[in-house]
Structure 1
């Protein structure tokens, strides 16, 4: 059974629905590819999915270790290539102001992030530049 459904809305826009929850995501083509850039592009979602997956895995690890990730945030930069047009690099910079964790726990958090399912599912051609400021 399908877990998601996507409909084309016209004008290079789609609406994705998560069937179980009913939550929706709108995508729009970016302005440099004939779109209006009024929502996430599909490649923006790819980069955001990678970051969200990394955060989720860090959260699972943190819960097991009783470490608080309160204040964790990330800045994401997408670098595109041409011919063929594709994401060439995803740069994610994680920051947490005051992480109270041992060196072992910090390494565990980093390992959890770098081995998340989205990261492992992406082509090795896609450069993933990840930094941890904590």
Structure 2
């Protein structure tokens, strides 16, 4: 089943986007580029995906956060590299839990799986942050 995302371009690099899940439009202006929104979507997806799979394994990842930076490709017009830093507030996750968390972030996020495979993704995970 498809999901409807409705965007109205207002001009002067400004748009409003409505989704079925939120009746208040998301307003985008020159403060955020479309690539910034892509990175935000990717970060949110990774954190939510890690949380989803952690809960399936009976543990939580509350207090997690991310920092993403990106570089455009030499050809221009597309992302070439994404540097992902994920921070988790606890240090005492087991090795198995950390493996689940890292695998979920790298391989199970729908947004990440939708990105061009040519994009280089560098991951860094910090525990106890």
Matched, 1:96 2:97: no
Structure 2 distance, partners of 1:56, 1:97, is 15
Q: Give the aligned partner of residue 33 of structure 1.
A: none
Question: What's the secondary structure of 2:40's corresponding residue?
Answer: helix
Shift of residue 2, structure 1, vs aligned partner: 5.0
TM-score by length of 2: 0.85
Structure 2 distance, partners of 1:24, 1:81, is 31
Q: Point out 4+ residue stretches in structure 1 off by more than 4 angstroms.
A: none
Shift of residue 76, structure 1, vs aligned partner: 1.2
Q: Give the aligned partner of residue 69 of structure 2.
A: 77
Tell me the number of residue pairs that the alignment of Structure 1 and Structure 2 aligns. Answer: 125
Structure 2 distance, partners of 1:62, 1:26, is 32
Q: Give the aligned partner of residue 9 of structure 2.
A: 8
Name which of structure 1's ranges 102-111 and 58-67 shifts more when overlaid on structure 2.
Answer: 58-67
Question: What's the secondary structure of 1:85's corresponding residue?
Answer: coil
| Change over 3 Å in CA distance of 1:2–1:65 after alignment to 2 | closer
Q: Is the 8 A contact 1:69 1:96 kept in 2?
A: yes
Q: Give the aligned partner of residue 34 of structure 1.
A: none
Higher relative contact order (CA 8 A, sep 6+): 2
| Change over 3 Å in CA distance of 1:14–1:95 after alignment to 2 | same
Q: Which runs of 5+ in 2 are unaligned?
A: none
